[in-house]
A and B are shown apart, each in its own frame.
Chain A
Amino acid sequence: MDITVTVNGKRHDCEDGPGESLLFLLRERLGLIGPKNACEQGECGSCSVWLDGLLVNSCLVLSAQADGCSVRTVEDLAAEVPERAPAAGAAGALHPVQQAFIDAGAVQCGFCTPGMVVTAVDLLARSPRPSAEDVRREMAGNICRCTGYQKIVDAVLLAAERMAAEPAAAGPSAAPAPAAPEVALP
């Protein structure tokens, strides 16, 4: 069976391997290495992407389930704020959440980072000024083994502050509007 998926605005007609996950399709067929394969059990959040606007663990979605859907990955975040000054060392401009992760020292080995960034962008779209408690509760589906989380919480709060001070910075489409009612992560 062949499937059609729009990923980061670009349409792909793909061969679908039986039983393959959306994560496998993104990584191995489309070469998008941003979503990470840390557990493939829906436990760690490293592979988080948006599927028709809803944040999902792409390891738990069959690629066939994504047929006809729109997928957005971490790769789509950096280029969307062209007016922002280019980030240090980066080829393009970073999303405020990405910049905040760097500035707050929230990146160590970085394997969880793309999933954390995507989840944080999603959270801030739904809840622009979360408390630290909100961040810890809402992002508990993303596991980090290096940082002890403190600096990740700091980064999300820093991003929220910057985006509130400069609402245009994130652009109107920083995150898709939730397609479903707000769903708190367990």
Chain B
Amino acid sequence: MTAQGVSTETAESIGTKTAESIGTKTAEGIGTGTAEGIGTGTAGGIGTSPGRSDGPAKVTGSFVYSSDLAAEDMVWAVTLRSPYPSALIHSIDTTDAQKFPGVLDVITHADIPGRLLFGQMKVDQPVLAADRVRYHGEAVAVVAAVDLETARAAAELIRVDYDVREPVTDAARALDPECEWLHPDGNLVAHTRIRRGAASTGDLPAADVVVRGSYSLGMQDPSFLGIESGLAVPVAGGGVELHIATQWLHVDQEQVAACLGLPPDKVVLKHAGVGGAFGAREDLSLHVHACLLALRLNRPVKMVYTRTESFFGHVHRHPAVLHYEHGATSDGALVYVKADIVLDGGAYASSSPAIAGNAATHAVGPYAVPHVQVDSRAVYTNNPPAGAMRGFGTVQPCFAYESQMDRLATALGMDPVEIRLRNALEEGATLPTGQVLDSPAPVAELLETLRGLPLPPADPAAPEGVVRGVGYAACLKNIGFSEGFDDYSTARVRLEVAGDGAVLATVSSAAAEVGQGVLGVLRQIAVTELGVGRVEIRQEDSTFGTAGPTSASRQTYVTGGAVREACRQVREEVLDLVRQAGYEDPPAAWRLREDGVVDDAGRQAAGLADVLGTRVIEKTAEFHHRTTFPLDRETGQGNSAMQFGFAAHRAVVDVDLDLGLVRLIDLAIAQDVGKAINPSAIAGQLQGGTVQGAGLALLEEIELAGGQVLNPSFSGYLLPTMADIPPIRVEILERADPHAPYGLRGIGELPSISATAAVAGAVRAATGLDVTRVPIRPHHLTVGTRSAPRP
């Protein structure tokens, strides 16, 4: 009784494709780690774009996602959810549901055998609601039955006696001392302060020009297509195995074991195929429910949310209100920035503490500002929980600081790109945290690159009342977990001669492949380091060392670093074998290439299969990034980030001034990736992230009324379609980070950050309106609500 096909990728005969012409420029100054001992001659290594090895399974429909799992004797379970955003629970009566034919079990909070709460940063969220519910859609009970329809029908029979309360739905109101507390410690989840320059003594200097603005963002949903789903299988000896789509097996496993009250070794989590993640798979959903039912019933339990339920089953991007004040000299140099940021964290903390920190440390964007005063707070409300989503607390301030840069440009009569160039960060600059940028920071170059791209021709058939605008925005983003967290990764590399006589490398890690292509990248690194064409990638379960999360754009950096290190240890042992075999003492410059050992003149000194014989070389390595430090609680000073990435966008829009409709005409992104490990995959990430950002600018919002979610469906929550999106140009810069493996920079989140601000800037340029809220709605743009004259 095992789950179907929990995947290991096989690597053989991957079609090697040359890098596309996506504006790849030559890397400059790549870190010293790259030159020595690498078999750059083997096809499919870093810098090339081999096709995905999961491609054939995905295009033919045979790839197994978590919702495709099945097991013999399997039963189904469904969740009953609160229809109210705030209510006390007086009682839960499951009698009728229990008696319903085909029902096998019903669980409530009273059945949780271990810890009653979960949460990866702050343990505050009930596995199942006990005495109160705090958001619309909170899980209250779970029913297991012989089939899905039976379970759904029975769930309707559970009677919950709610005492409905007035919800707290406004984050500013939640901070009012008079407001009721939603959790025992009050409504403030986190508060990060930054005080730099004169702000550290409580003052800010005078400036020639001052602009102020208030900005707000709605609640964006990650809307991955592969709905929350999983299969829990009981195993002999009282344990359970959970096949789940997740971003981090190990942090899930710890929480599941704690809530089940089981020793950690009784709970094993295994990767199931992931249909997108974007941050929302960092938190538990059905994990504990399915495992507990599997243990109680001693049968495999499958859970698959509906799309509507999925909107309730995962976290969203924090809605935010941001008040900004920028002071500048008359020639456009930033003097100070003052920002007050309130993030609506919803009912539970999730990742809010780190997100509030990120919003603070990124509050002024990729610009040099000598005096900075920032207060960033995350707040509990009775809205749906907000947590990790691509960009992680940097999307909200980017919309605000880039809107402020546009305001400043207008106030000074400067070109919007010029004012950004005037203040752009560069290597050696100091961030608001006091951290000094000790690697390239090509913000100006990214903006110049975009400005140099041709603009689409004007539409001669454009109807009257349609105006065009061009907007620019730039951003930076910390890569990896910050503020002192050691988010290391573990990898194992094995080298041997396979049964058919060919040399085989096997790379193992627990890294989550969420669609971005990390498994392919790990293969490329092994190919490069070992010169072996045949590499098998194994996705290990939670009993293997952690790879950390597929989050924070860190997986290629950290797990890639671990694979590189393990490969180097393997290579050292191969060279030892060469020495033992009586070859002349190989100098350090000998390399592994094309399944052979190559001397420093490039001649093959030995075949790798001959050197290995029957030996198996296996090395396990951990990669720890350089140390980061917590921020000072009062001043927000500290070297908090291991690396920063940089990106910029240009958006071109047409706006129909009468209808308030915005049409995207052209999108372009320029990003510094440090080293392009797989140029095609990078282009795909940059394009995909750009569309998510554009979606937030124009379409995507979970609409709330008194805490009620009004549009939990794809007919109500509008995602960009192919018809909404223009061609997306990609310009990749490679300005290597000397501190990172191969000089690479994490890439995944950046494209989603500045896209929103660029689209808003383009609408601003087209209409002359301030554009202070996203998503931009037609009524924000039409006559009667305009706050500025037409251009």
Q: Which A residues are closer than 8 A to B by beta carbons?
A: 17-20, 27-28, 31-41, 43-44, 46, 73-75, 77-78, 87-91, 94, 98-99, 101-103, 105-114, 117, 132, 135-137, 139-153
Contacts and interface: CB of A to CB of B under 8 A. Distances in A.
Contacts of A94: 56, 59-60
User: 3 nearest interchain CB pairs?
Assistant: A34-B61, A109-B515, A148-B687
Given A41-B715, A78-B59, A145-B225, 4 more contacts: A102-B59, A114-B58, A143-B719, A146-B684
B514 interface: yes
Interface stretch (B322-330, B720-728, B774-782): B720-728
A147 B684 contact: yes
B60 to A, nearest CB: 5
B700 to A, nearest CB: 11
Nearest to A100: B59
Interface in B291-323: 304, 306-307
Interface of B: 10, 12-15, 17, 20, 49, 51-65, 67-68, 70, 147-149, 222-227, 274-276, 278, 304, 306-307, 514-517, 680-681, 683-692, 713-715, 719, 721-725, 727-728
B723 A140 contact: yes
A1 B370 CA distance: 75
A186 B689 CA distance: 25
A107 B725 contact: no
Given A38-B225, A135-B722, A152-B722, A105 B684 contact: yes
A116 to B, nearest CB: 9
B722 A142 contact: yes
B64 A151 contact: no
Contacts of A105: 20, 49, 51-52, 680-681, 683-684
Contacts of A41: 307, 713-715
A65 B606 CA distance: 66
Contacts of A99: 59
A113 to B, nearest CB: 5
Contacts of A74: 60-61
20 contacts: A18-B149, A33-B65, A37-B67, A37-B227, A74-B60, A75-B62, A78-B60, A88-B56, A90-B60, A94-B56, A105-B51, A105-B52, A109-B225, A109-B515, A110-B55, A111-B226, A114-B61, A145-B224, A146-B684, A151-B687
Given A87-B56, A103-B17, A44 B51 contact: no
B53 A89 contact: yes
A139 B49 contact: no
B59 to A, nearest CB: 4
A103 B49 CA distance: 10
Contacts of B61: 32-35, 73-75, 114
From A75, A101, A132, residue with most partner B Cβ within 10 Å: A101
A132 B306 CA distance: 33
B228 to A, nearest CB: 12
From A31, A34, A137, residue with most partner B Cβ within 10 Å: A34
A38 B311 CA distance: 12
A111 B226 CA distance: 6
Nearest to A117: B59
A145 to B, nearest CB: 5
**Dominant secondary structure of chain B at its interface with chain A:** loop
A37 B470 CA distance: 38
Nearest to B65: A111
From B61, B65, B70, B685, residue with most partner A Cβ within 10 Å: B61
B51 A136 contact: no
Given A33-B62, A74-B61, A149 B684 contact: no
Contacts of A88: 13-15, 51, 55-56
A10 to B, nearest CB: 16
From B275, B516, B683, residue with most partner A Cβ within 10 Å: B275
A148 B60 contact: no
A46 B246 CA distance: 21
From B51, B689, B713, B727, residue with most partner A Cβ within 10 Å: B51
Contacts of B53: 89
Contact of A140 (B683, B688, B713, B722): B722
Given A88-B56, A108-B688, A143-B714, A33 B64 contact: yes
B243 to A, nearest CB: 14
A99 to B, nearest CB: 8
B276 A90 contact: no
Contact of A108 (B68, B227, B516, B719): B516
A146 B715 contact: no
Contacts of A28: 148
B516 to A, nearest CB: 7
A39 B687 contact: no
A161 to B, nearest CB: 16
Contact of A39 (B20, B714, B724): B714
A156 to B, nearest CB: 10
Given A33-B64, A90-B60, A150 B51 contact: no
Nearest to A132: B727
Given A74-B61, A103-B17, A111-B275, A37 B304 contact: yes
Nearest to B517: A108
Given A17-B149, A148-B690, A109 B224 contact: yes
A157 to B, nearest CB: 12
Contacts of B12: 89
A148 B684 contact: yes
B17 A149 contact: no
A110 B58 contact: yes
Contact of B714 (A44, A78, A103, A109): A44
From B17, B56, B223, B224, residue with most partner A Cβ within 10 Å: B56
Contacts of B514: 109
A111 B714 contact: no
Contacts of A132: 727
Given A102-B15, A145-B223, A148-B687, A109 B715 contact: no
A146 B56 contact: no
A116 B143 CA distance: 35
A89 B225 CA distance: 25
Contacts of B13: 88-89
B557 to A, nearest CB: 19
A151 B53 CA distance: 17
Nearest to A31: B70
A127 to B, nearest CB: 15
Contact of B723 (A102, A137, A148): A137
Contacts of A39: 307, 713-714
Contacts of B714: 39, 41, 43-44, 143
Contacts of A89: 10, 12-14, 53, 55-56
B34 to A, nearest CB: 24
B274 A109 contact: yes
A153 B691 CA distance: 14
A91 B61 CA distance: 13
B663 to A, nearest CB: 12
A73 B607 CA distance: 47
A108 B515 contact: yes
A146 B723 CA distance: 16
A110 B515 contact: yes
Nearest to B681: A105
A111 B20 CA distance: 24
Contacts of B728: 148, 150
Contacts of B148: 28
A162 to B, nearest CB: 14
A135 B61 CA distance: 22
B149 to A, nearest CB: 6
A78 B517 CA distance: 23
A147 B226 CA distance: 14
B714 to A, nearest CB: 4
Contacts of B225: 36, 38, 44, 46, 109, 111-112, 143-145
A98 B688 contact: no
From B10, B681, B723, residue with most partner A Cβ within 10 Å: B723
Nearest to B50: A88
B691 A38 contact: no
Contacts of B680: 105
